[in-house]
Every structure is written in C-alpha cells, then in structure tokens.
Chain A
Amino acid sequence: MIVAERKPIQEILSMISGLRKILILGCKGCVTVCSAGSEREVMILATIIRMGRKKKDEPIELVERTLVRQCDPEFIDQLSDSIGQFDAVLSMACGVGVNFLADRYPKTIALPAVNTKFYGVAEEQGVWSERCAGCGDCILNLTGGLCPVARCSKGLFNGPCGGSVNGKCEINPDINCVWQLIYDRLKGLNQLDKLDEILPVKDWGVSSHGGPRKIVREDLKI
C-alpha cells in the first residue's frame, strides 16, 4: 500500500489560514489501512482544526467526508455537486488524491493534509516500512524477492557495499542490510548461483527519471 503520515497540525493550520469553509476529505484506500486518512482520522483532524481555530478566535466551518478512493473518477466525481461551496478541500489521501482533485476541479483549492511516504508494509500494528520504489522494471526474480532499489540505502545492484556490518546498514544501524538478507535468503533457497550473474546497468528511464509514467490498456477502455 501507499503509506502516508499526517502533517504537523501547525503546518495544516497555517495552510488553511484565512479560509472559512473547508471540506476535509478522507480516503478509504491505502491511507485508511495505514491510519493516516481514514474516516476516523478525518474526524480527529476536524476536531483538532476546529479547536485550533477557535483558540485563535477564528472559527471555521468544516464538512467531513470520506470517499471510497480519491484516485478513480467515479468516486472523485461524486463531489461535483457540492465542491463549489468550499473555499478549499483538505485531502487526507496520498498525493495522488490531491493531484486528481486538482485535475478534476480546476477552480477548487486542493491542499494536502498528509505527507505521502512510500510503498510499504505493516510490519506490525502501528509500524510501517518501505518495500518497493516503483522503479518500473522489477528485478525481484534475481534477488530472492527482496528489493535492493527500495531497501538498500545506496540502491546497489551487485552485492553490499563495505559498510555492511553484522547484517546492518552503515547509514543507519536500525536498518537491515538488504544484501545480507538477499544472500541469506538465496542460500536458504539453495540459489546462491543467482548472485554470480552481474546485473547490468539499470534503465532508470522507466522510473521517474523518464518523466511522468502512463499505462494504456486498450482492451479495458470503454
């Protein structure tokens, strides 16, 4: 899932300074799973904003709503009737949702309430960590299913750097060295020979270095 984290309250308050009527828009997709922008987080943020503004003696009118997703037209278009009445929409979805709001409603101010962090997993309740960098050309078949693009601090492709110590990364000792993990895993799978293959220079053109990406499936188009 896409993992996000709510922005600091003061940053949000300064973002909406002077605005009087705002729609706080949650998303029932990834940000609900990672507890950043669910219906419940919308209620919490709305309460905090109301309190913050009342304290400054600048009351604000807030409407709380949560869409199934903010990244599909059938859901984002549900706002078309009511969006004109708001000074701005404060989206608790990932950056995709904010962008899509801005795309679909050119006359509405679209603001982000969360920082979109990474594609990751819930390691345990309340702990998320990165697993995929969306590089556009997956090589997990060569690395035992563990990604050196997302999980090696230096993004190395052919084994660890000299800073791997006792299975930990030199950038941060809390991070496991993914090349150590790859080695251990391939050894367990009896596939160490895979590491004999030298990975060629990666084509970053299919990653974000090649500009915004797009997929078209003619068979699915209506």
Chain B
Amino acid sequence: MGQQMTQPETRVIKGVNKIMEFQPKIEAMICTYCTYTAADMAGSQRLQYPPTVRIVKYPCTGRVSILHILKAFEAGADAVFVGGCEIGSCHFVEGNLRATERVAYAKKLLAETGLGGDRLEMFYIGASDPHKFVEAVTQMTERVKRMGPNPLK
C-alpha cells in the first residue's frame, strides 16, 4: 500500500498538474471599433474568460492579411481568431467581409498544410457585446484544448 501524501505534498502535485495542463496561446486579431471595445468592456465589467488570449488591435479587420495569420501560426500560436464588426456595421463598409474571405482562404491553407483549419475562426462582435467576446475566447480555448498544441511547437 502506498504512503499517504501529506497535505502540502498534495497541494504541490495539484499545482504541478495545473502548470503541466495545456494552456493554449490564442492570438486575437480584432478591430478597434467593435471587438476591441467589447473586450475592453468585458474587462471593466469583470467578466471572466480564460487567460489564453493575446490581443492584436487592428484599425479594421480588412487590414488582416493571410500572411499575418500564417506568421502567427509559424511563431507557435495554437489558434487565431479574427474579430470584426457585425455584418453591415463595418466602419469601412466591407472590411469585415474581406476578412471573412481571407479567413476562409487561410483555413484552406492551414488544412492543406496539416495544421487544421479549425485552429482559425472569424467572429463578428459588436462594440456593446462583451459577452460575445468572452464566448469567442472560451469557444476557441475549448476547441484548441481538444485539438492539442500547435504541432509546430
């Protein structure tokens, strides 16, 4: 029969397990007018979401290039999501629609490379919708935890 662990030992083991648990790194490429404002509001409202996201603020998701997305994965991101304005409310009329097309193309490239297109997603999050931002981060975190780390790491 094994020796029973002391309370401090149990605490250490739990701590190690927590550190060892895969914490994804997710890059969020988000628009300053909508999703960034929603993320800001999520903070002021003290909404809780996984500490997995690194935000890159864009003037508009229309500026997001396929190369930016690919370089993020090459640098080791486990997932990327692009957060643009809701359809019809882009400040530059169609930046979010262009981003949608580019995300779709980049998904194909990632699938062809074998990384998996599901590591990339497009979300439309209005400035007044912090809950949607929290939902996007949570959804991507869960998805990537299922998929495992970026195989390039």
Contacts and interface: CB of A to CB of B under 8 A. Distances in A.
A50 B74 contact: yes
Interface in B129-151: 151
Given A40-B67, A43-B67, A54-B152, A48 B109 contact: yes
B73 interface: yes
Contacts of A44: 66-67, 70, 109
A48 B70 contact: yes
A47 interface: yes
Nearest to B70: A47
A40 B71 CA distance: 13
Interface in A28-86: 40, 43-44, 47-48, 50-52, 54-55
A201 B114 CA distance: 52
A206 interface: no
Nearest to A126: B101
Contacts of A8: 112
Contacts of A55: 113-115, 151-152
A52 B114 contact: yes
A10 interface: yes
A54 B115 CA distance: 11
Contacts of B74: 47, 50-51
Nearest to A12: B112
Q: How large is the interface on B (under 10, 10 to 19, 20 to 34, 35 or more residues)?
A: 10 to 19
Nearest to B73: A51
Nearest to B108: A9
Nearest to A9: B112
A194 B87 CA distance: 52
Interface in A7-22: 8-10
Interface string B105-125: 000010011110000000000
A34 to B, nearest CB: 15
Interface in B60-77: 66-67, 70-71, 73-74
A10 B70 contact: no
A52 B74 CA distance: 10
Interface in B67-97: 67, 70-71, 73-74
A16 B114 CA distance: 17
A50 B109 CA distance: 13
Contacts of B73: 51
Contact of B71 (A9, A10, A47, A52): A47
A65 B133 CA distance: 40
Contacts of B66: 44
Contact of A9 (B67, B113, B151, B152): B113
25 contacts: A8-B112, A9-B109, A9-B113, A10-B112, A40-B67, A43-B67, A44-B67, A44-B70, A47-B67, A47-B70, A47-B71, A48-B70, A48-B112, A48-B113, A50-B74, A51-B70, A51-B73, A51-B74, A51-B115, A52-B113, A52-B114, A55-B113, A55-B114, A55-B115, A55-B151
- Leading 3 A-B pairs by shortest Cβ distance: A9-B112, A47-B70, A52-B113
Given A43-B67, A44-B67, 10 more contacts: A8-B112, A9-B109, A40-B67, A44-B66, A47-B67, A48-B113, A51-B74, A55-B114, A55-B115, A55-B151
Interface of B: 66-67, 70-71, 73-74, 109, 112-115, 151-152
Interface of A: 8-10, 40, 43-44, 47-48, 50-52, 54-55
